[in-house]
Structure 1
């Protein structure tokens, strides 16, 4: 076995790279090795014991044999704590490519935002129209965000799919904030779909909801003292798979299907199933039947 450090891993792309401690070149890490270990995310800096093999294109991870150390999850940055902060509005962010741009309010200049900056600031994704606060510097290719925090979500034109209720609170500030974010993202997906948003926009909203849910489960596990993947019960896996399947069915054609009440009910059930299970003190979420698209 060889000890390696995760350089980066993108679950949406399905691969990443690790740096061996023995002086070998960087090794390719495929999603199949990650999932075989029961993991879904690998933060940058995670220490692993792996079996490496030399393939036709270079070194690659054959198997992950043990997770040795996981960095502490970052907390979302406080907008008031960013030095020389300037406001802006998210122009777009592509989670698959790992970057996006924010339009700075003061001069309408585009500011580059990399996914690693988001991760360092405790964020998983950005969505078009969000109001953000950021620290900006001049990078090799132009303006770039060094720190960023979300100040406000974009306004919704229609009524929410879900409203936060006092009964949802678990009286843990971090958990409640993450649950509120799931509700907000489900509302955004519902409203834009009901307003006949295009396929690309819906795909971004689906991906943001899924990314937020994955980050939440990771942080939830860290708060409980679990290592990556340890408490991944069948019901938790099915909860994520249900949404991934719903996304795939909904975006299977160039023009998404008309939004129906059945789809709205699926979104409501998917979000509240997890929240209510947490309120009830259950160690895992209840399963949700997928809606028929």
Structure 2
């Protein structure tokens, strides 16, 4: 990309850091170069309010007067180092049962990153679904906002219904 070229280019990289409270973060391209600004509005257009540090990301970027900036998010994959972290709550659950659990559309009731957990409501079901911060990280997210729409894979855990996977809400829509 030349200095004069401000058309969107597609690239892959890793999230250096993202702060949902500040509403932005930065991506480092696989090919190197300067940091790329990732604004919360670009993430929201993708259907997420946050992204985990270290997550792999595919974005369109544009050179602006203030540097490189993401304009579109195409894909986010959870950070590799947290993808394999086991949760004791899943120890006694058949892996095939977990893999075959359907994605269900839900809304975040509340989530407290400092406490490490929160709850969501699945549409049409009365009971809350527990969301652990480690499940959030494994899903490539850093935080959730009240009212945020999600698609979650829910299992019956030792203490009730709990999310084991979280996606953008569009994933749960019938095709």
Taking structure 1 as the reference length, what is the TM-score of the superposition?
0.31
Larger Rg: 1
**Greater relative contact order: 1 or 2 (C-alpha under 8 angstroms, separation 6 or more)?**
2
Taking structure 2 as the reference length, what is the TM-score of the superposition?
0.48
